[in-house]
């Protein structure tokens, strides 16, 4: 059985995290053949930057301390569909 979950997160991030993500996207622009681009065709730099920040927040890169994690993930709504 496969279950799909759609989740919506409200996150917060620092100027430093935003700058780091913007630099990462700029670097990826110089390497159009990388796997990074799979499924990202047609997205704006702003979309890519926010996706990068969300990925890092949700995958734990910024969550080495549980109390800090709570500051980044403000809200989560989800629903399950089958």
Per-residue pLDDT of the chain (82 residues; tens, 9 = 90+): 677 777 777 888 889 989 999 999 999 999 988 888 888 888 999 999 998 988 887 777 655 665 665 565 666 666 665 4
Assess contact for 36 and 28: CB atoms under 8 A: yes
Q: Tokens 């047609």 appear where?
A: 42
> How high is the pLDDT of residue 63?
57
The dihedral built from the CA positions of residue 62, 31, 45 and 36, taken in this order, carries a sign that is: negative
> CA torsion angle for 60, 26, 46, 69 (degrees, to 10)?
10
Structure tokens at 50: 């926010």
> How high is the pLDDT of residue 4?
72
The whole domain housing 21 covers 4-81
Adjacent-strand bridge partners of 81: 4
**What is the total count of domains within the chain?**
1
Q: Model-level pTM?
A: 0.69
């Amino acid at each position: 059985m496969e279950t799909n979950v759609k989740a919506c997160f409200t996150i917060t991030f620092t100027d430093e995290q935003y700058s780091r993500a913007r630099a990462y996207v700029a670097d990826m622009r110089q390497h159009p053949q990388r796997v990074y681009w799979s499924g990202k065709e047609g997205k704006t730099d702003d979309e890519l930057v926010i996706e990068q920040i969300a990925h890092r927040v949700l995958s734990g890169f910024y969550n080495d301390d549980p109390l800090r994690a709570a500051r980044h993930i403000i809200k989560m709504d989800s629903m399950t569909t089958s």
